[in-house]
Structure 1
Amino acid sequence: MHILLVASAFNSLTQRVHAELRDRGHTVAVELAPPGRSLARAVERHAPQLVLAPMLKTAIPREVWSARPCFVVHPGPVGDRGPSSLDWAVQEGVEHWGVTVLQAEEEMDAGAVWASVRCPLPPVSKSDLYRGEIADAALSAVLLAVDRFADGGHTPLRQDAGHTRPYLDQSVRRIDWAADSTETVVRKLRAADSQPGVLDVLLGDEWYLHGGHPEAGLHGAPGALLATQAGAVCRATKDGAVWIPELRRRRLRGQPPTFKQPAVTALGDRLPPLPELSSSPALAGKNWADIRYREEGNVGFLSFSFPGGAMSTTRCRRLLAAYREACARPTTVLVLGGQRDFFSNGIHLGVIEAAADPAAESWANINAIDDLVEAVLTTTDRLVVCAVGGNAAAGGVMLALAADEVWCRAGSVLNPHYRLMGLYGSEYWTYTLPRRVGPATAGRLMSEALPMSAASAASLGLVDRVVDCGPGDFAAEVGALAARLAALPGTPSRIAAKKESLDRQESTEPLATFRERELALMRRTFDDPDAPYHALRRAFVHKERPAGTPPHLTAGPGARGAAGPDPSGAGVTGTDVGGVTGTDLVRVSSPPDHW
């Protein structure tokens, strides 16, 4: 079937639906639907058999839904209506929710139901849920609805009068630091993550607070700042405290757009002297930490969780130090990752954009992540597994490929390319990607610049194992698999062979040669103020809407992308950039990673 995806942005759910429908043999095109554009003309141009809206912030016009079947994905159970469905559910602490696929009609969210799937809502942030449990339910509902439509014999269920909730605005999100408990504050913060944030006053200025984690041991006057750790600030509640990783200044009229930054960086000189708490991965205990280390028998687990999957220079260096400490432990298998939500999306474009010299920070960041990848590639005294529990893109995918094995949760979406950010890429990809999939396929993946499912990645050899489980079960599944790997009789011989293989590689074409070639091209881009990368980075960070749908997404039935294969894997030229950004294709398109 030829299906047209209509979306406000090519966000994580739209990408997953796109990849999984293609896996099942459908031809899929995408049209972005920013305000002011004629959706009807775009739909007629594609002539789809079905229009599907995985994430659409505006109504489908009558001339479209009256002419063709149009399905809308709503992040709520049957009868739930309104623009802030998931936000309300998280803020109110609902434990179970659902996703409904309904037919577009005059009244928003009121059309006939083609499929509805329930799901749990564990106590995590809205954006984490959106990419996890909600995305799993949405994908199941979409596939069921598409199958029912294709079969032709299904009669959709008409809805009774539903419950329409209003938009969840800042008057309801507001935190009363003197009256709200830590639990309430955390729920409000989680319900606003990653957008729109919770508007608050801090150190005399208005800020949007992004992200929230409870703190068990610190106390102080409600609203007071107590400590810092790993770029986050700790703020007191009436009965405890919360960690806030990121802040965004409220934009003033006539001023340039603002964007999220690590809280400590955003506050800068305004921040009073505060104690910096230890962020030792092995001593995190029950408190919040973005990097953790633990051991179970002969297996070490080094997990990390960075907002948006973005790895700044500082985060890369901290993770590298933790990796080296983990490699000093007497383990047979080291698991890197293994948590829910993002694995990594590569370098931190927000920190780069905020830097006094973005070119210099770009260079520092790419070298820092290269150092981390090099450490993984040259580990020869144990097996290293990268466990990808959520989405990964660009340098994050290449970080995973440095390991001996890549285990990926079935719901993950991978974007193994750089060109839509105007970058050639580094992280030793010219060594690791062809090593796994061959030069021709590596070039095609880089040229197409399309998302792929975990199953598709496994079929290409990009991923070694697909773990079919929910987001909350991934860590336990990985733990059991890693224990079995460590106990296999053949594991010691595999470890011994790693040293021999690396020695052979170094004698023929040293790893340093791959890095030098990649970085030479990256340096040229960073140092050229007219290179597309700089404009694309700014658009990504400031969430500028693209002028139109990028050509590689609008290609017709059966197309594999707008650009042809590039067997050399040479990456990007100035004319290749399609108007959206690369690391996660979604975020430049303005709408956040939730409904």
Structure 2
Amino acid sequence: MHILLAASAFNSLTQRVHAELRDHGHSVAVELALPGSSLSDAVRRHRPDLVVAPMLKTAVPREVWSAHTCLIVHPGPVGDRGPSSLDRAVTEDADRWGVTVLQADEEMDAGDVWASVDCPLPPVGKSDAYRGEIADAALAAVLLAVERFASGTHVPRRQETGRARPYLRQEERRIDWAHDGTEEVLRALRAADSQPGVLDDLLGGRWFLHGGHREDGLRGRPGELLATRAGAVCRATADGAVWIPELRARRSPTGPAPVKLPAVLALGDALPPLPELPAPADAGPEERTWSEIGYREQGGAGFLSFSFPGGAMSTEQCRRLLAAYRAACSRPTSVLVLGGGRGFFSNGIHLGVIEAAADPAAESWANITAMDDLVEAVLTTTDRLVVAALGGNAAAGGAMLALAADEVWCRAGVVLNPHYRLMGLYGSEYWTYTLPRRVGAAAAERLTAEALPLSADAALRMGLIDRTVPCGPQEFTAETVRLAVRLAASPATQSAIAGKKARRDRDEAVRPLAAHREAELARMRETFFDPGAPYHALRRAFARKEAPDRTPPHLARSVPGRHTTPRAPRDGRDGRVTGPALQDRAPDPADC
């Protein structure tokens, strides 16, 4: 079928629906519901068999839903209605939730039900759950609804009951620091982590607080700032404390939209002297404190975890991760796993920090060189196998960081965007070496030119990654540990390490890594320091959440579904390592 995706933004869920519908053989196009645009005109141009709205904040016009079947993806169970469904579920501490695919009708969220799938709702941030459990349920529901529509025989069921709840306003989100305990504060912060944030008074200013993590060791007067760590601030609650990683200033009536920034950077000179408390060296999931980087070992494997808000990696974050990586490489392990958590793996350089810098060009340059230093360290590690474990999405330089590893393991729901073009950049992170060695020159050129999202399954079929792990987001860390420990214990691992070093030496003789870096950075430097380069306007629009004035042409065009033939396992002569882990595929997960 030809399916048109109508969306308010090409967000993570819309990208995943786009990628997986193509995997299932459908032709897919996207139209963004933007101010001044007409969805009716777009539908007439595309003449779709079906309209699907993965994330739509506006009503579908009557002339569209009365003439075409339009399926709305609502992040709530049957009967739940309203624009803040998931926000309220997190605020109210629900442990199960769901997704409903319903037909657009006169009343919002009240149309006939084509499919519904429930799922667990763990105590994580709203955006994390949205990209994880909610997205898994949404894809299952969308694929079922599309299959039912294609059959031509399915009759959707009417909603007999339901309740429409209003938008969750800042008055309801407000934190009472004098009386609210840590659990209440965390629920409020998690329900607004990415957007819209929790509006609050802090150090004489009005700020939106983004994200929150528990701290059990520090105490103070409720509402008081207690410490800093890696750009975050620790604030006392009525019975404990929380770490707040990011802040965003309230927008002035005349100024541009403020940028979301690490809390310490956002507060600047307004921040009083506070102790900088490093995280425990072995901080892990069991620790009752927060750290953006952690390391632990099990069996013969080391696990270097990291989690940066939004997947963005600033210059300082890159340097901290590089220091942690070098420390991990000093340990006596044969396998080192990068990532392994459920959130974003990485989306590359931190466009928000760059946008807020006094000299964005200079900060862009510092950030990309720090990112390159990290990737180079991974590429030149020859005394152990390095595994990139992606429990969440990766894009641009973050996707290339993953490709620097010997093996790339992705949770089955991950979406990859291995390209830079949409930000007006040529790209770096040694992509001209790592991407062609995995998929070939022609496929590398297509991926970077098309600039479309790729599902984990499609990436596996084309050889971009080595394994998909079909499990829920909460199970990914444990499954990664199991696979890595077994890989470290395999007799074949030592011979794989020896072969890896020989291949690196051969590749270096053909074209040194330094040559790739120099050529890439020459293009990047030219862009960064050219005030007229499109990158600057594109960066500004991204960091300040400015909507485009039209649907980007590469999304509006119809993209046919692909049925890529799976590749046979390689013998490693092209620079990729094949190891015993590739022989063990986990069973298909149960539907959530």
Helix, strand or coil at the partner of 1:517: helix
Helix, strand or coil at the partner of 1:219: coil
| 2:364 alignment partner AA | S
Residue number in structure 1 paired with 2:49: 49
Residue number in structure 2 paired with 1:225: 225
Alpha-carbon spacing, 1:528–1:12, altered in 2? closer, same or farther (3 Å): same
Instruction: Kindly indicate whether residue 413 of structure 2 is the aligned counterpart of residue 437 of structure 1.
Output: no
Residue number in structure 2 paired with 1:126: 126
Q: Give the unaligned 5+ runs of structure 2.
A: 563-592
Separation (CA, whole Å) in 2 of partners of 1:326 and 1:167: 46
Separation (CA, whole Å) in 1 of partners of 2:97 and 2:480: 26
Residue number in structure 1 paired with 2:483: 481
Separation (CA, whole Å) in 2 of partners of 1:175 and 1:410: 37
**Mapping of residues 98-247 of structure 1, within 5 Å:** 98-247=98-247
Separation (CA, whole Å) in 2 of partners of 1:547 and 1:280: 47
Instruction: Kindly indicate whether residue 367 of structure 2 is the aligned counterpart of residue 365 of structure 1.
Output: yes
| 2:113 alignment partner AA | V
Q: TM-score, normalised by structure 1?
A: 0.93
How many residue pairs get aligned? The number is 560
Residue number in structure 2 paired with 1:379: 381
| 1:538 alignment partner AA | R
Contact 1:60–1:104 (CA<8 Å) still a contact in 2? yes
RMSD: 1.0
Separation (CA, whole Å) in 2 of partners of 1:281 and 1:42: 54
Q: Percent sequence identity over matched residues?
A: 74
Residue number in structure 2 paired with 1:90: 90
Q: Give the unaligned 5+ runs of structure 1.
A: 561-595
Helix, strand or coil at the partner of 2:130: helix
Separation (CA, whole Å) in 2 of partners of 1:558 and 1:489: 44
Separation (CA, whole Å) in 1 of partners of 2:561 and 2:90: 39
Contact 1:458–1:466 (CA<8 Å) still a contact in 2? yes
Residue number in structure 1 paired with 2:393: 391
Contact 2:283–2:291 (CA<8 Å) still a contact in 1? no
Contact 1:281–1:291 (CA<8 Å) still a contact in 2? no
Separation (CA, whole Å) in 2 of partners of 1:286 and 1:33: 43
| 1:385 alignment partner AA | V
Separation (CA, whole Å) in 2 of partners of 1:429 and 1:501: 18
Instruction: Kindly indicate whether residue 63 of structure 2 is the aligned counterpart of residue 63 of structure 1.
Output: yes
Q: How much does 1:499 deviate? A: 1.7
Residue number in structure 1 paired with 2:315: 313
Residue number in structure 2 paired with 1:424: 426
Helix, strand or coil at the partner of 2:348: coil
Separation (CA, whole Å) in 1 of partners of 2:72 and 2:65: 11
Q: Which string of whole-angstrom CA distances, capped at 9 and with x for unpartnered residues, describes residues 530-570 of structure 1?
A: 0000010001011111111111111136399xxxxxxxxxx
| 1:384 alignment partner AA | V
Separation (CA, whole Å) in 1 of partners of 2:527 and 2:508: 28
| 2:360 alignment partner AA | P
| 2:472 alignment partner AA | G
Residue number in structure 2 paired with 1:569: none
Alpha-carbon spacing, 1:442–1:242, altered in 2? closer, same or farther (3 Å): same
Instruction: Kindly indicate whether residue 12 of structure 2 is the aligned counterpart of residue 12 of structure 1.
Output: yes
Contact 1:12–1:131 (CA<8 Å) still a contact in 2? yes
Q: Which string of whole-angstrom CA distances, capped at 9 and with x for unpartnered residues, describes residues 310-339 of structure 1?
A: 000000000000000000000010000000
Equivalent residue in structure 2 for 1:547, among 531, 546, 549: 549
Q: Which string of whole-angstrom CA distances, capped at 9 and with x for unpartnered residues, describes residues 418-462 of structure 1?
A: 001000000000000000000000000000000000000001100
Separation (CA, whole Å) in 2 of partners of 1:509 and 1:281: 38
Alpha-carbon spacing, 1:471–1:557, altered in 2? closer, same or farther (3 Å): closer
Contact 1:2–1:557 (CA<8 Å) still a contact in 2? no
Q: Give the stretch that moved more between structures: 531-540 or 252-261.
A: 252-261
Alpha-carbon spacing, 1:283–1:51, altered in 2? closer, same or farther (3 Å): closer
Separation (CA, whole Å) in 2 of partners of 1:469 and 1:282: 26
Q: How much does 1:28 deviate? A: 0.3
Separation (CA, whole Å) in 2 of partners of 1:283 and 1:71: 44
Separation (CA, whole Å) in 2 of partners of 1:191 and 1:420: 30
Q: How much does 1:408 deviate? A: 0.3
Q: How much does 1:390 deviate? A: 0.6
Alpha-carbon spacing, 1:135–1:296, altered in 2? closer, same or farther (3 Å): same
Residue number in structure 2 paired with 1:291: 293
Q: Give structure 1 regions of 4+ aligned residues with deviation exceeding 4 angstroms.
A: none
| 1:389 alignment partner AA | G
Separation (CA, whole Å) in 2 of partners of 1:57 and 1:193: 19
Residue number in structure 1 paired with 2:577: none
Contact 2:423–2:539 (CA<8 Å) still a contact in 1? yes
**Mapping of residues 231-310 of structure 1, within 5 Å:** 231-279=231-279, 281-283=281-283, 285-310=287-312
Helix, strand or coil at the partner of 2:101: strand
| 2:530 alignment partner AA | D
